[in-house]
Amino acid sequence: MPDCYYVGIDTSNYTTSVSLADENGNVVANLKSPLVVKEGGRGLRQSDAVFAHVKNLPQLMRDIGALLKGKTVRAIGVSTRPRDAKGSYMPCFLTGEVAAESLAAGLGAPVYRFSHQSGHLMAALYSSGAADTLLERPFGAFHVSGGTTEMLLVKPDRVGFSVELLGGSADLHAGQAIDRIGVAMGLAFPCGPALEKLAMENTKKIPKPRISVREGSCNLSGLENLALDLYRKTGDKALTAAYVLRFLSLTLAEMAHWLRQTHGDLPILFSGGVMSNRIIASYIGSQLGTVKFAEPAFSADNAAGIALLCRSKALKD
């Protein structure tokens, strides 16, 4: 086995993650611990997220430490900000940075800092099998989750990515809409998996969604009102769930069509927790042709992309 390993740490507002990549660029461990949300809750305040990471990190670091016994850690990577943009900041990422610095001090290894968004892109490229082709050319990308709904133009650079924001949601993020509607129907947060399961049980005709897309921007706050109105009128959770996922599928496909109309026939990569939904992915794939999706384990929040970016930077330094 390769002698050197690379650790990745990510502390988003939803999951504490620690991953391990080997010298050949294989992800050999992808450990996660979700942040606990109280029953009926729709998310966490930053102060609560920080506390949750502080509780999760010791066990995850012990677990990754056990895997590293007898092995050499060449470098540690950590996400320290949501995206590569001026002023991009969330307190929850400080917990991961503290863990990375502590581990590095004990091992005598360097720490490399990346954005959470770049980690998502790298993990998606790795798990979709598109790394060999898309790391050599510009591509379109969607990062769709509880905290982000963004459409991007991505250009790989020496280590990581140069990212231009082309559009996204002007109000609610897709994952927020899913969770608000799901919690209102009595589902446990995060609601994505349960909503998908309900939607697959639906046998009724889905009302035609009235989506709101203007060029590269969409509005999703109306989805919450429309879906809950449908649920109040019908009491049908499966139909409502199917309506929500159809609305999001149509919205994302329309935005992707605009991206190609304005920037050429680019390959498009989809990542983020919402994109692990098989119904949405299936519809988008049927409409757009050349698209790539991260595998579910690498689509939701994870540190695998950070570990891989860490490896790339270490090998080039």
pLDDT digits (tens, 9 = 90+) for 29-54: 999 999 988 877 777 899 999 999 99
Asked whether residue 158 carries a pLDDT value surpassing 80, the answer given is no
Domains in the chain: how many in total? 2
Instruction: Give the CA diameter of the chain.
Output: 62
Torsion 60-72-12-152 (CA) sign = negative
* Segment 90-112, tens digit of pLDDT: 999 999 999 999 999 999 999 99
Q: Which residue has the higher pLDDT, 133 or 233?
A: 233
Residues 291 and 302 in one domain: no
What's the pLDDT at 157?
A: 87
Is residue 241 situated within a structural domain? yes
When pLDDT is averaged across residues 199-228 and rounded to a whole number, the result is: 96
Distance of CA 231 to the CA centre of its chain: 28
φ, ψ of residue 22 to 5 degrees: the values are: -95, 180
- Sheet bearing 15-22, strands edge to edge: 27-34, 15-22, 4-11, 72-81, 111-115
Domain presence at residue 83: yes
In a shared domain, residues 278 and 171: yes
Task: Supply the pLDDT for residue 35.
Answer: 93
- The distance in angstroms from the start CA to the end CA of the chain is 23
Strands (E), the chain: 4-11, 15-22, 27-34, 72-81, 111-115, 139-144, 149-156, 161-169, 213-214, 217-218, 268-271, 291-293
Domain that holds residue 302: 4-129+298-316
Q: Kindly state whether residues 192 and 216 are assigned to the same domain.
A: yes
Q: What is the Cα–Cα distance from 115 to 93, expressed in whole angstroms?
A: 10
According to DSSP, the residues that pair with 22 across neighbouring strands are 5
d(CA 259, CA 269): 12
Of 136-140, 155-159, 211-215, 310-314, which gets the smallest average pLDDT? 155-159
Query: Both 123 and 171 in a single domain?
Result: no
Tell me, what's the pLDDT at 42? Answer: 73
Q: Is residue 114 part of a domain?
A: yes
CA geometry: angle 276, 153, 14, nearest 5 deg: 35
- Across the chain, what does the average pLDDT equal? 94
On the question of pLDDT at 142 being above 70, the answer is yes
138 within domain boundaries: no
Beta bridge partners of 77: 8, 112
Q: Are residues 117 and 170 in the same domain?
A: no
- Asked whether 163 and 169 are in contact (CB, 8 A), the reply is no
Q: Kindly give, in sequence order, each residue whose CB lies less than 8 Å from that of residue 43, ignoring residues fewer than 6 positions away.
A: 13, 37, 146, 176, 179, 189
Question: How many residues in the chain?
Answer: 317
The per-residue b/e assignment along 32-41, b for 16 or more CB within 10 angstroms, e otherwise, is bbebebeeee
Higher per-residue pLDDT: 61 or 85: 61
1 falls in which pLDDT band (50, 70, 90)?
A: very low
- Rounded to an integer, the average pLDDT of 158-178 is 93
Give the CATH number for residue 67: 3.30.420.40
pLDDT of 140 over the 90 cut: yes
Indicate if 194 and 254 belong to the same structural domain: yes
Sequence-ordered list of residues with C-beta below 8 angstroms from that of 281, at least 6 positions apart, any chain: 270, 275, 293
Quick: pLDDT tens for 213-227.
Answer: 998 999 999 999 999
Per-residue confidence (pLDDT) for residue 86, from 0 to 100: 86
d(CA 225, CA 42): 16
CB-CB neighbours of 16 under 10 Å: 29
In this predicted structure, the answer to whether residue 2 has a pLDDT above a threshold of 70 is no
Res 293 pLDDT > 80:
yes
Q: How far is the CA of 306 from the CAs of 93, 96, 106, 117, 259, in angstroms?
A: 13, 12, 20, 10, 27
